[in-house]
Amino acid sequence: MNVPADALSPLRPRPEGRALRAEISLGRIARNLARLQKVAGPRGLWAVIKANAYGHGAIPVGKALEAGGAAGLAVSNLEEALELRDGGITGPVLVLGGLRPEALPLASRHHLTVALVGPESLESFARILPEHPVKLHLKLDTGMGRFGFLPSELGECLEGLKALSPWMKGIMGHFATSDDPDRGFSDRQRKTFEACRHQLRDAGLSFLEVHHANSDGILRGYLDGDTSARPGLALYGLTCIPEGHALGLEPAMELIAEVARVKTVPAGTAVGYGRTFVAPQPLQIATLGCGYADGYRRDLGNRAVVGFGGATYPVVGRVSMDYLTVALPLGVAIAPGDPMVLFSGDPKAPHSIERLAQLLGTIPYELTCALHRRLGRVYL
């Protein structure tokens, strides 16, 4: 079957009958970057925009962060890096998850920077890089247990690493528990990172770019010497730790759905799949075109609230694939087309992304990353 190419492209932001959009303030993202830059001092920050900039839209967000003075942009894999290049981003792009050797020629053509994530890559990279050069950032596993050279592996890898020194431009680590009020493990990771750097320096390997901390690491001051950082979540104005709130981070995203239909129901009317909500008195039920297929979690049904006209109202019944339902008292003036706020940009609101994540026992990352590409994104 022939599928026209444009059949696979993302949906129009507002196809008829749906009016769901994430409104994203690039100004807030730029201000959050500036706040973090102030904490980090003269160090350049690598801005993490993997997973479509945590659901905020990689290209516009990447451009705003470049304009705001980020040292570079970091993504998870080759596909995300190429998406940035296709979208006109020309500055440094770091692939955090490393690359298979056979992808190096493509990465080289697109001037990508690649994390070197383990000893298994040394030989093949040394063979391919002279013809297909890319900048490398050596990743150390100081305690995360995923990617990176273990400190115990460095000694036996020194010759292999030295062979890559013409391309070796950076060194990095990643904190496993920077959100933990107990600094103990993070302090151990910091010490390990420094010890590894010394070992490499003694062997004649030095690095122009050094970065270790994520958002929480910056907020907690895990910025040793010249070591810079790679914030993600805080750029979007979200945080799980008190230091983030103290810095005045501004959530960049609001999720808005316009009312598709309003009906008045008598007491005793059940709403939605499973009849999990029954109106205790006459009510207005507003149906919104947003469901779990858009990334609004099913388990927010009968638990979350949405904002409308300066008040909040409960999401009642089950959230379905494309719709959710909100109950309002009879006297509230509401009509199809009226906008309701599903994710609020006010961190203190009961329907802020942080509060909803708490309600669900998860982290804000999961809520924003889950927002489907089918919903419109509007940049303010």
Ligand X SMILES: Cc1ncc(COP(=O)(O)O)c(C=O)c1O
Nearer to ligand X, 43 or 318 (CB): 43
Identity of the amino acid at 22: A
Per CB under 6 A, contacts with ligand X among 327-366 are none
Encoded one letter per residue, x for contact with ligand X by CB under 6 A and - for no contact, window 165-204 reads ---------x------------------------------
What pairing do the DSSP bridges indicate for beta strands 20-24 and 93-95? unpaired
Residue from 38, 236, 273, 323 carrying the catalytic annotation: 273
Contact between 68 and ligand X per CB under 6 A: no
> Residue 315 — φ and ψ, nearest 5°?
-80, 120
DSSP letter string, 281-297: S-EEEEEES--TTTT--
Residue from 50, 63, 135, 139 carrying the catalytic annotation: 50
Contact between 214 and ligand X per CB under 6 A: yes
The answer to whether 273 is a known catalytic residue is: yes
Q: How far apart are CA 370 and CA 292, in angstroms?
A: 9
Q: In this chain, which stretch among 185-193, 232-240, 307-315, 353-361 interacts with ligand X, using CB under 6 A?
A: 232-240
Residue where the block lists tokens 């919104």? 288
Q: In this chain, which stretch among 31-39, 117-125, 211-219, 281-289 interacts with ligand X, using CB under 6 A?
A: 211-219
Q: In this chain, which stretch among 184-192, 209-217, 312-320, 324-332 interacts with ligand X, using CB under 6 A?
A: 209-217
Helix (H) or strand (E) holding 254: strand 253-265
The answer to whether 63 is a known catalytic residue is: no
Encoded one letter per residue, x for contact with ligand X by CB under 6 A and - for no contact, window 12-51 reads ------------------------------------x---
Alpha-carbon dihedral angle through residues 86, 89, 95, 96, given to the nearest 10 degrees: -130
Count CA within 13 A, CB hemisphere, residue 179. 9
Q: How many CB atoms lie within 10 A of CB 38?
A: 9
Count CA within 13 A, CB hemisphere, residue 260. 18
Task: Give the residues lining the site for ligand X (CB under 6 A).
Answer: 48, 96, 174, 214-216, 230-234
Residues tagged active-site: 50, 273
